[in-house]
Structure 1
Amino acid sequence: MAPRTMQSEIRAMTMECDRIGGVNLAQGVCDTEPPGPVIEGAIEAIHAGHNIYTRLDGIARLRQAIAAKMLRDRRMMVDPDAEILVTSGATGGLQAASLALLNPGDEVILFEPFYGYHASELKSKRVVPVIVPLCAPVSPEADWTLDLDALRAALTPRTRAMIVNTPSNPCGKIFTRAELEALSEVAMEYGLFVFTDEIYEHFVYGDAEHISPATLPGMRERTIVISGFSKTFSVTGWRLGYLVADAKWLGAISYFHDLTYVCAPSAFQHGAAQGLEQLGPEFYTQLATDHEAKRARIVAALKDAGMKPYIPRGAYYVLADASQLPGETAAIKARWLLAKTGVAAVAGSAFFRAGHGEDLLRFCFAKKDDDLDDACVRLRTLGSGSV
């Protein structure tokens, strides 16, 4: 019998939402409008004939723009010819890095709640995800926090790396400097790699600050920085990311990315490069401001609907307590909510170990204003007793 193809809960809810014509707050598609320079740069590149393979590590223009960005935003000097790989999405970067640096049977620390694709990627390489729960917020305004004792208790002689997603999907956690310094001490003590997923780096709210572990003392060599343009430029379908690593690792990582993807889409690379070159600091400030306003709208609607939202400090998702909704599991609750209101959310259990997260739902608020407002009106029908 052929093995059954597994489908993520996120995609399952998206398909069901599409079937009934609902409002999709399940998948992080980020369907806001892409910036003009990004779109124009890609179109110009197509007409200019940039439609063939690029170098395996990406076009020089984009690598140089990424290096300039790393210096501007992270104060990191990066060699565009030896330390940057343009990837087929951030997921492609993680896949290539895990193939290059991990072996079957290795263990990698994931912090819970975790992004399911991280766990699945590791499992696909016969690498063992080891889940370390974060401490849940004591109030809706508080953040999830690192339990250093739980981390140390999870380490074994087979531990090879940890994945740090900051800002985090699904809970919006931003690891503090003190937490990252503690993680760095562990990484250096045990000789671990740190794979850091920073795809939501520009979605930071209030007084929160995004810090890349690679910028901390002693961490440059062992940190594999993974990010991309899907979220920042609202081009999730372009599958365009990048990876920054020490030159000693980049050759092997690039080899495996070439083996799987050959290269990232050529014309799209030109579009992203033009975006990095032409969009100034005000673009990124406005991006965060716009999404902070969207966050306020969905948080208010969830409260009115009788669900307790945990207010994220970053990214563009909200985890909400849905314990009052009917159903024994989060998946059943999500499907009940979709049937009653036409709003799709993701079961919290998709981001936790088995048996956990069953009273939580995740909502994405990176939506066009009209769609987000429609979803908020639909959700409020729960509180008004209309459904």
Structure 2
Amino acid sequence: MLNTLPSKLPDVGSTIFTEMSALALECRAINLGQGFPDYPPPDALIRAVSEAMAQGHNQYAPMAGLLQLREAIASKVQSQHGHAYSVESEITVTAGATEALMSSLLALTHPGDEVLLIDPAYDLYAPSIRLAGAEAVRVPMRPPRKDDPAFRIDWNRVEAAMTPRTRMLVLNFPHNPTGLTLKPEDLDALEALIDRHPVLLLSDEAYEHIVFDGCAHLSPVSRPLLAEHTVLVSSFGKTFHATGWKTGYCCAPAHVTREIRKVHQFTVFSVSTPMQAGIARYLRESDTLSDLSGFYQKKRDRLATGLKETRLRPLHSEGTFFLLVDTAALGTGLEKELAVRLTREVGVASIPVSAFYADPARPEANHQLLRLCFAKLDATLDQALERLRGLN
């Protein structure tokens, strides 16, 4: 009977992002939870996509992506990280970073494999690993503390979690939800680790162009040894304020890309043609990428400054369009309960950081932290801050 159909993901329901956004709508709350901008993509990009449609770019694109977009990606990555990818055999345009991650995990991991996740970890990773038949092994960061209010990666702990079954390590920097970025010493540690344990690295770099305070994004592919082991994933949706367009890409050595494309072609085959054509043209004609960090840093600073007038204590964000807040002044309890309370009583929706752990109800997942998204109009941020000042 269909009502006894066994589930491949029996403990998975709606994501916390879906849940909190629905609650925000119900309560007419300002949604600083789900990570989407409330402003449009650049006008020139919208025109480029519209003109691509008018010019007839409306049928299937090549499975790997339009050549002109793959060329633009290759140029961007080489300029940014100094690593050259073949447009023919090492770059694939995907239906957002999500599909790139899913296709990579399905293609490159097998039943019995272990995949290391660094907690708090984006909630897509573990279910994708399970669907591939592999096992997620979670390694927690050290949580913020009074003398050092930031998450920290313990690479010795990451290496200690490796076994002969370890197939892959998933990286996510700039990191969602903590805003942490990789430093040169992190890449040094990764090189030493890979030299001893030649596993694959799946590097989710959706926020690669949103890094603050004059710092540059350091990708593993900027180091030759790491590039040989890395699948680089990124998202034009995040970069160009167009999350609904679901256009991303992955870059990897040819023998790895060959396996990813086998899954990609039977998942979506190809990605929206006019979106690809428009983005390729926009990348050729615009210098917007260099302005993104400054654009978002102003929003980060606006939110962080305003939060100092509330009972929420902002933590420092090095990148992404997220900022964590310490809620200790509001008492103890599960982070999700507080997030729901703030949505219902104050009218501001957030995401509990505990949702990025395997069991959000466990004490070690609850550090009295909520994630706020500042990819919003200034007026939206100001209205949210006004409501948060009324916290008691």
For 1:164, which of 166, 171, 193 is the aligned residue?
171
Conserved? CA contact 2:321–2:373, under 8 Å: yes
- 1:129-208 equivalent positions in 2, closer than 5 A: 129-138=136-145, 143-208=150-215
The answer as to 2:283 corresponding to 1:272 is no
Q: Which moved more, 1:155-164 or 1:214-223?
A: 214-223
Taking a change above 3 Å as real, the CA distance of residues 338 and 241 of structure 1, as seen in their structure-2 partners, is same
Residue number among 248, 258, 269 corresponding to 2:265 in the alignment: 258
Distance in 1 of aligned mates of 2:188 and 2:286 = 32
Per the alignment, residue 318 of structure 1 pairs with: 323
Alignment partners' CA distance in 2, 1:184 and 1:59:
33
How far apart are residue 178 of structure 1 and its match?
A: 0.9
- Measured in 2, the distance between the counterparts of 1:7 and 1:106 equals 26
Contact 1:301 1:379 in 2 (8 A): no
Residue 374 of structure 1 corresponds to: 383
Could you say which residue in structure 1 is the equivalent of 2:239? 232
Q: Between the two proteins, what is the percent identity of the paired residues?
A: 33
Return 5+ residue gaps in structure 1 as ranges. Answer: none
Which of 187-196 and 112-121 deviates more?
Answer: 112-121
CA deviation string 1:172-224 (max 9, x = no partner): 00011111221122123212000101110111001432111012131222110
Report the alpha carbon displacement of residue 143 of structure 1 after superposing the two structures with TM. Answer: 4.2
CA-CA distance at 1:14 after TM superposition = 0.5
> Equivalent residue for 1:296?
301
The Cα offsets for residues 256-280 of structure 1, whole Å up to 9 and x where unpaired, read as 0110111111111112112211111
Between stretches 117-126 and 149-158, larger displacement belongs to 117-126
- Please say if residues 164 and 194 of structure 1, whose CA atoms lie closer than 8 Å, have aligned partners that are also in contact: yes
For 1:39, the aligned partner's letter is: I
- In the TM superposition, 1:35-54 aligns within 5 A as 35-54=42-61
Aligned to 1:247: 254
Is contact 1:144-1:173 (8 Å) kept? yes
Q: What corresponds to 1:357 in structure 2?
A: 365
CA contact (8 A) 1:89 1:241 kept: yes
Deviation at 1:99, TM superposition (A): 1.4
Structure 1 residue 159, shift from structure 2 partner: 0.7
2:137 aligned with 1:111, yes or no? no
Q: For the Cα contact (< 8 Å) 2:106–2:129, is it kept in 1?
A: no
Matches of 1:32 and 1:208, distance apart in 2: 26
The equivalences for 1:211-226 within 5 A come to 211-226=218-233
CA distance in 2, matches of 1:264, 1:80: 16
Q: Corresponding residue for 2:134?
A: 127
Shift of 1:327: 6.7
Q: Distance in 2 between matches of 1:302 and 1:369?
A: 14
TM-score, structure 1 normalization? 0.94
CA distance in 1 between counterparts of 2:83 and 2:353 reads: 36
**Structure 2: how far apart are the matches of 1:29 and 1:140?**
32
Note if 1:340 corresponds to 2:334.
Answer: no
**What TM-score do you get using the length of structure 2 for normalisation?**
0.93
Q: Which moved more, 1:350-359 or 1:12-21?
A: 350-359
Range 350-359 or range 370-379, more displaced: 350-359
- Please report how far the alpha carbon of residue 242 of structure 1 lies from its aligned counterpart in structure 2 after TM superposition: 0.3
Report runs of 4+ in structure 1 exceeding 4 Å deviation. Answer: 2-5, 138-143
Query: What is the CA–CA distance in structure 2 between the aligned matches of 1:142 and 1:180, rounded to whole Å?
Result: 22
How far off its partner does 1:251 sit? Answer: 1.5
CA-CA distance at 1:296 after TM superposition: 1.3
Shift of 1:153: 1.6
Question: Number of aligned pairs?
Answer: 381
Q: CA deviation at 1:140?
A: 8.7
SS of aligned partner of 2:58: coil
Matches of 2:271 and 2:183, distance apart in 1: 32
Closer, same or farther: CA 289–64 of 1 in aligned 2, 3 Å: same
- Give 3-state SS (helix, strand or coil) of 1:224's partner: strand
The unaligned stretches of length 5 or more in structure 2 are none
**How many Å apart are 1:141 and its aligned residue?**
7.7
| Cα deviations by residue, 1:54-103 (Å, 9 ceiling, x for unpaired) | 11100011011111111211121111111100000001011111111110
Counterparts in 2 of 1:87 and 1:255: CA distance versus 1, 3 Å: same
Aligned: 1:12 with 2:22: no
Q: Using the alignment, how far apart are the partners of 1:252 and 1:58 within structure 2?
A: 16
More off after superposition, 296-305 vs 84-93: 296-305
